[in-house]
Amino acid sequence: MLAKRIIPCLDVRDGMTVKGVNFVNIREVGDAVELGAEYARQGADELVFLDITATHEGRKTFVDLVKKVAHKINIPFTVGGGISDIRDIDKLLSAGADKVSINSAAIRNPDLIDQMAKNFGSQFVVLAIDAKEQNGNWTAYVNGGRIATDKELYIWAREGQERGAGEILFTSMNHDGTKKGFANEALAQLSVNLSIPIIASGGAGNMEHYADVFTKGKADAGLAASIFHFNEITVPQLKEYLHKREIAVRL
C-alpha cells in the first residue's frame, strides 16, 4: 500500500503565509519560506504554496518566492495561483517547483490541462478544484472561491483526469477552516470515479480527522494549514498517531 501523504498548505499573500475561514477573514501567520522549511524539517511529505490573491488581482505567482523555496527546502512542493498559460508554468518549473496547480485558468480554458500534460508530463499537473455543496450538488468556484461556475465537481474532476491531470486537489469550501473534518463522502466518491491520486483539503481540526480522511474518504493525501501553522498538531505527532492506527505513512 502506498504511504498516505501529509501536506501542509501555505496560502501566500505578499510573501507571507496567511489563513482564513471559509475563504475569508484572512490573517497573517508568518514568512512562507521559513515556515515551509520548518515543515520539511518536521517530516512533511510535500508542501503546497498557493498565492491566494494572484488570480483575483490579476498578478502572476511570484517566481522569486519559488526560487527561495527550492533553495531552502528538500521535499517536493507544488505552486499555484495566478497561472494562466504555459509560459507561467515553464517559469515556475524552471524556478524549482516540482508540480504546478491550476484552478481558475483550467476552468476558463480546459485545453490548458492538455497543454501542460503534453509539454511537461501529467506528473507535474495538479488540478485544484474549490467546490461548495448546496442541496446535495457540488459546484466548482473560481477566483479564490469568489465566483461560481457551471462546473460540477465529479464531472469536472473526471474531465481533468481525461485531459491529463496527474492529481486532483479538492477543497471543500463548506469545510475550509472550520476544523470539523474533511468532506469524506465527496472524497470517497471521487476515489470511486477516478484513478489518479486525490488530495483532500478543507476541514482538518484534529488527528482523528486525518485518520477518517484516509479510511472513510479514501484520500491519497491530506492537506491542512491552520492546525500546523498554530502548532495545534505537529507533523511528527500526526504521523505517529496514524502509524498506530495502522495507516501507512512515511515515518
Sign of CA dihedral 96, 101, 107, 111: positive
CA distance 61 to 99: 14
Task: Report the run of H or E that residue 77 belongs to, with start and end.
Answer: strand 77-80
Of 51, 130, 212, 220, the catalytic one is 130
Q: Is 11 a catalytic residue?
A: yes
Q: Check if the beta carbon of residue 175 is closer than 8 Å to that of residue 163.
A: no
Of 11, 88, 212, 220, the catalytic one is 11
Q: How many CA atoms lie within 13 A of 133 on its CB side?
A: 15
CB-based contacts of 153, cutoff 8 Å, min separation 6: 129, 131, 138, 139, 140, 170, 186, 190
Q: Is 64 a catalytic residue?
A: no
**Residue 2 DSSP symbol:** P
Helix, strand and coil content of the chain, in percent to the nearest 5, comes to 40, 30, 30
Question: Which residues are marked as active site?
Answer: 11, 130
